[in-house]
Amino acid sequence: MQFLVAESETPDEREARRESAGKSSGETYAATLAQMRPDATITIVAPADADPLPLTADEIAAYNAVFITGSPLHVYDDTPEVRRQIAFMRAVFDSGVPSFGSCAGLQLAVVAAGGRVRKMADRLEAGIARRIVATETGRTHPLLAGRPTVWDAPGIHGDEVEALPADADLLASNAVTRVQAAEIRHHGSVFWGVQYHPELAIGEIAAALRRQAPSLVDSGLANDIDEVETLAERLDRLHRAPDDRAARWLLGVDDQFAREDRRRTEIGNFLANLALLRRNEENDMAKTLTASFDTRREAEMTIERLVQDHGFDRNDIFVVAEGDENSAGLEVAGSDNESAQPSPETRDDAALEGRIKVSVDIEDDDRAETVRAAFAEFDAEQVAAN
């Protein structure tokens, strides 16, 4: 896999962040991605810089995914740095490569696709973005798969999305900022973005608060620098010991914020769906693996293995009768039964007669290997790719 990380900072801002947090925003993203996908090759670029020349859409198309970082820049400012960033994001959309962005990365994609961003009036969101809630669309969107009804996330920003582009879906909001998560479809490409920071370690949040302490006091979020430092120290404590119950209680957070894997939920979901999001001009249809089973039970066990253990969507799995004498099981069974309504031990209807064919959509080699392993575990026959 080839990943392109675009850090949305100027050289001075990158150096300031290294001094306080140890890494630039792009280096943080690269480190996070390297942990999550150690097999990936990661390239960092800085679109805000005047040199070197920005990548073209054709050059970006060589990558599997693009990640857009946060930044102190304001995308509504008409400066050369901002114009170069917007031009880069438009090239990403033109490339057909799926992209993901957080904070200013979301805002940049919004403006590049025709939406609007504004300064937040008389408020900031700093440290912890509280009580984020998925919209009706977001509750079933793969970007937020695994998130509970309400969650907290790392967040620090003074700008927000005012209006999403035409081809976009609002996926999550909270009381501070209406657009906390969104999908944008533009020029054949798909962007998933969040206003918060799933890529950040908790210690990096503490460092960001210390960098911006004067503005937090000016905004009224803290009475003085000492109060900002107290919050930063509590975050540092949780960073060192994520299971520290007292540290969690003092901050009012749970696993969604304290555990690294939970904080990174949206990035993990994006990586898991890359093949589906990628526009493939040679073959727009996902490939399918098909297998035949002697019994319905074997087919059901295979499906449950894929869904429960490997996170496959049931909508990507299809069950049909191999012969026309078999109904392939029109009656509910297995995990589809209502609670306290177990499947009968014996059945004599057509659902148990004849062979069952199971087909699973696949988009990449890893997914195909997982499906083949599940087929083999439950004695599938006639395995074929279509």
Number of residues written out for the chain:
386
- Select which of 157, 186, 197, 239 is catalytic: 197
Alpha-carbon radius of gyration of the chain: 24
C-alpha to C-alpha distance for 55 and 45, rounded to whole angstroms: 9
Q: Left (φ > 0), alpha (ψ -120 to 50) or beta: where does 173 sit?
A: beta
Give SS3 for 341: coil
Among the options 199, 266, 300, 363, which is catalytic?
Answer: 199
187 included as an active-site residue: no
Contacts of residue 285, defined as CB under 8 A and 6 or more positions apart, other chains included, come to: none
SS3 labels along 208-272: HHHHCHHHHHHCCCCCCHHHHHHHHHHHHHHHHCCCCHHHHHHHCCCHHHHCHHHHCHHHHHHHH
Q: For residue 169, what are the β-bridge partners?
A: 183
Quickly tell me which residue has 């039964």 as its tokens.
337
304 is catalytic: no
Annotation says 199 is catalytic: yes
Closest CA relative to residue 336, chosen from 361, 319, 360: 319
How far is C-alpha 384 from the geometric centre of its chain's CA atoms?
31
What is the rounded (10 degree) CA torsion for 259, 265, 271, 275? 150
Half-sphere CA count of 27, side-chain side, radius 13 A: 12
Element (H, E) at 186: strand 181-186
Q: Which of 7, 9, 13, 103 is catalytic?
A: 103
Find tokens 């120290």 and name the residue: 233
SS3 385: strand
Tell me which residues are annotated as active site: 103, 197, 199
